Amino acid sequence: MFEGRSGTGGGGHARFRGQDIAAELRLDLRQAFTAHQQVFSIGGKQIRVTIPAGVENGQTLALAGQGGQGVNGGPPGDLYVTFVIAEDPRFKRLGADLYTTVELDLYTAILGGEIVVQTMDGSVKLKVAPETQNDAKVKLKGKGFPVFKREGQFGDLYVTYKVKLPTKLTEKQKELFSELAGGAK
């Protein structure tokens, strides 16, 4: 029924596929923002990996044939690289959208004006509307994170204003605030 085959391919030695290997690659948010190549060492072997822009924390990339060596001429295993992206002090990431908080002085919040806001790829001037409230949010379309594997597509950047109250007021400034308050002292 089985005609005496040993399943070894007739050469006497079985060929086995190499072991799959799992590895972690730690990146900061800026490194995950742009596509780039990085070299790292696994089991004494240097491996160059192209990291696509927009990779997510916990995302795994499979590199075929970069795992353990095969046995008796068997094919090599695969390497599975899981990305671990550190939190950024300035930006919080949710998918392709970024969130940041910007301090806004009281005078700009009341009177309006322009401020400079840092984005992942530089800075932009932002017009602040008069009478802007604390915790007000604005959306900067297309200034977020690159969408994974979608060339030229970006999420949005959401900016939350934190109005900073002045300290160490001069007597004249205190008088002016008292006038604004209707002299209610």
The structural domains of the chain, ordered by start, are: 21-85 (2.60.260.20), 92-167 (2.60.260.20)
**Tens digit of pLDDT at every position of the chain (185 positions):** 334 334 444 455 788 988 998 999 999 999 999 999 988 888 788 888 899 999 999 999 999 988 888 888 889 999 999 999 999 999 999 999 999 999 999 999 999 999 999 999 899 999 999 999 999 999 999 999 999 988 889 999 999 999 998 888 888 887 887 887 775 54
- DSSP bridge pairs for 85: 27
- With beta carbons less than 8 A apart as the criterion, state whether 100 and 90 touch: yes
pTM: 0.78
Estimate to the nearest angstrom the gap between the alpha carbon of 88 and the chain centroid: 8
Q: From 104, 107, 103, select the one nearest 173 (Cα to Cα).
A: 107
